[in-house]
């Protein structure tokens, strides 16, 4: 099995009858929270205000997330934003990730309790 590393993503190439690519990404909570807030409000400027960041920083987070995922998340339709099909699917994955992280923390804290 060949392994190549790129910034922010590990690409594992498994050899079989045809090559299969598995991309394991490291998505930051800041990027995912930014996406959820923009999706909830349908506005970059209002989401930036809510998240206490400037609009440029928020746009960069979304741009980086789009690059990581390799798929557009929003369609701009003045004056609103609309989610793409990938953008419609992402919130459930983020919620599942958050639930798993919280469960992991709870279990770890319970094991440490005297």
Q: What are the pLDDT digits (tens) for 78-110?
A: 888 999 999 999 999 999 998 998 998 888 877
Cite the DSSP H helix spans in the chain.
29-41, 44-51, 55-69, 85-112
Residue 59 falls inside a structural domain: yes
Which pLDDT tens digit goes with each residue over 50-78? 999 999 999 999 999 999 999 999 999 88
Residue 18 falls inside a structural domain: no
Residue 19 falls inside a structural domain: no
Count of Cβ atoms closer than 10 Å to residue 46 Cβ:
14
- When pLDDT is cut at 50, 70 and 90, the band that residue 5 belongs to is very low
* pLDDT in the model for residue 1: 41
Q: Which domain holds residue 88?
A: 27-112
Residue 10 falls inside a structural domain: no
Residue 73 falls inside a structural domain: yes
The total of structural domains in the chain comes to 1
Which pLDDT tens digit goes with each residue over 29-45? 899 999 999 999 999 99
CATH classification of the domain holding 68: 1.10.10.10
* pLDDT in the model for residue 114: 64
| Residues 106, 93: Cα–Cα separation, whole Å | 20
Count of Cβ atoms closer than 10 Å to residue 12 Cβ:
14
Residue 21 falls inside a structural domain: no
Length of the chain: 114
Count of Cβ atoms closer than 10 Å to residue 83 Cβ:
18
Which residues touch 68 (CB under 8 Å, ≥6 apart)?
A: 8, 9, 25, 27, 31
- Asked if residue 38 lies in contact with residue 62, where contact means CB atoms within 8 angstroms, the answer is yes
């Amino acid at each position: 099995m060949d392994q190549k590393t790129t910034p922010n993503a590990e690409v594992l190439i498994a050899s079989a009858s045809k090559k299969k690519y598995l991309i394991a990404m490291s998505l930051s909570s800041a990027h995912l929270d930014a996406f959820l807030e923009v999706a909830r409000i349908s506005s970059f400027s209002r989401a930036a205000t809510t998240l206490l960041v400037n609009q440029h920083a928020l746009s960069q987070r979304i741009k980086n997330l789009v690059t990581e995922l390799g798929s557009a998340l929003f369609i701009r339709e003045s004056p609103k934003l609309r989610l793409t099909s990938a953008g419609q699917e992402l919130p459930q994955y983020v919620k599942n990730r958050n639930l798993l992280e919280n469960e992991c923390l709870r279990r770890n804290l319970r094991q440490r309790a005297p």
